């Protein structure tokens, strides 16, 4: 019988302690690798622009995620506002670049939201852009576990994570789902507010893999534990698909579940940009898939593409 990772820490009384440690990292804020040390209780929050109390844009049973998360009843997504990466091509910029949008929720309200998604039949709780609210999430998780939350917890992030924050999630998160972007730091610096994106993300992926391993699915085909990597193909090979694939195959596992995605379109400030102001062509996407296979990935997660 499946038991979520967070049940153990809850029963040992550790979730509340981890929430307190995360809260200490949140003010002044060092939750993400930016370490901007912002006073999030003031009128001048940091790079992500987020206040201390969690702000949620929406929550619902999502059927547009990977099939291993959606199953037949949907993935219980909670979309948090704000983001420390500030990608200039963000497809969710109305949420990620507007930290004061959505609704402010305390830990009890966030816990109630998790429980409602479970009651509606969702296969998991899918936390979207959660990094800057880890303190609030851990506090809410302790309350939700006390009231019977018992489905997998998905940490759906941009890959840019602090090792110190990830340590607080060890034995708590069931599925890590990082969306990896640029392999090269210099390329990342042009499009993100993170000039060390590639190197920091590789450190984070190693930590995630060490915590949960390769993706595991149950008899019904839905995932219950492991690492699921998303990678968006960008025009001109800017994302470094072949480099990412070789690194993942070598440093993590050739069987890492990697979803190579073709959904890129120029959004937000990307329209008209000389490098990312267009969609990649079919040939570029196929080349990216071929590079990933040639680099050593088994193709798990993108069998439908080959």
Burial of 259 (0-12, 13-18, 19+ CB in 10 A): buried
Q: For residue 304, give the DSSP letter.
A: G
Known binding positions for [4Fe-4S] cluster: 83, 87, 90
Nearest to 128 by CA among 92, 100, 89: 92
Known binding positions: 83, 87, 90
Contact 239, 199 (CB under 8 A): no
**pLDDT given for residue 303 in this prediction:** 59
Q: Which residue has the tokens 């550790």?
A: 14
CA dihedral 66, 70, 71, 74 (to 10 degrees): -170
Contact 182, 192 (CB under 8 A): yes
CATH number of 7-305: 3.20.20.70
DSSP 118-156: HHTT-S-EEEES-GGGHHHHHHHHHHHHHTT--S-EEEE
Question: Consecutive sets of 10 residues in the chain, 306 residues long: mean pLDDT of each?
Answer: 94 96 95 94 83 95 95 97 93 85 96 98 98 98 98 98 98 98 95 95 98 97 97 96 98 97 91 92 95 95 66
β-pairing, 75-80 vs 125-128, is parallel
Contact 40, 94 (CB under 8 A): no
Nearest to 133 by CA among 220, 24, 50, 204: 50
Alpha carbon 7 to its chain's center: 21
**pLDDT given for residue 196 in this prediction:** 96
Domain ranges in the chain? 7-305
**pLDDT given for residue 92 in this prediction:** 85
């Amino acid at each position: 019988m499946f038991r979520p990772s967070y049940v153990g820490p809850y029963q040992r009384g550790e979730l509340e302690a981890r929430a307190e440690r995360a809260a200490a990292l949140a003010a002044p804020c060092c939750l993400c690798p930016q370490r901007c040390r912002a006073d999030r209780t003031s009128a001048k929050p940091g790079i992500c622009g987020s206040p201390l109390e969690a702000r949620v844009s929406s929550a619902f049973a999502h059927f547009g995620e990977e099939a291993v998360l959606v199953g037949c009843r949907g993935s219980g997504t909670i979309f948090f506002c704000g983001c420390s990466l500030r990608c200039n091509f963000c497809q969710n910029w109305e949420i990620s670049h507007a930290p004061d949008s959505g609704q402010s929720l305390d830990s009890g309200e966030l816990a109630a939201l998790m429980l409602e998604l479970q009651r509606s039949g969702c296969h998991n709780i899918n936390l979207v852009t959660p990094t800057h609210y880890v303190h609030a999430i851990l506090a809410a998780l302790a309350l939700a576990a006390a009231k019977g939350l018992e489905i997998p917890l998905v940490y759906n992030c941009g890959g840019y994570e602090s090792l110190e924050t990830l340590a607080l999630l060890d034995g708590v998160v069931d599925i890590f789902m990082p969306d990896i972007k640029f392999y090269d730091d210099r390329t990342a610096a042009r499009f993100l507010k993170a000039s060390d994106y590639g190197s920091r993300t590789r450190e984070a992926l190693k930590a995630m893999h060490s915590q949960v391993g390769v993706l595991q699915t149950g008899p019904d085909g839905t995932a219950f534990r492991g690492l699921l990597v998303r990678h968006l193909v960008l025009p001109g090979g800017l994302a470094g698909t072949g480099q990412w694939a070789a690194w993942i195959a070598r440093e993590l596992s050739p069987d890492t579940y990697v979803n190579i995605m073709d959904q890129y379109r120029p959004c937000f400030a990307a329209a008209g940009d000389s490098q990312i102001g267009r969609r990649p062509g079919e040939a570029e996407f196929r080349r990216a898939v071929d590079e990933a296979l040639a680099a050593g990935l088994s193709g798990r997660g993108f069998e439908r593409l080959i």
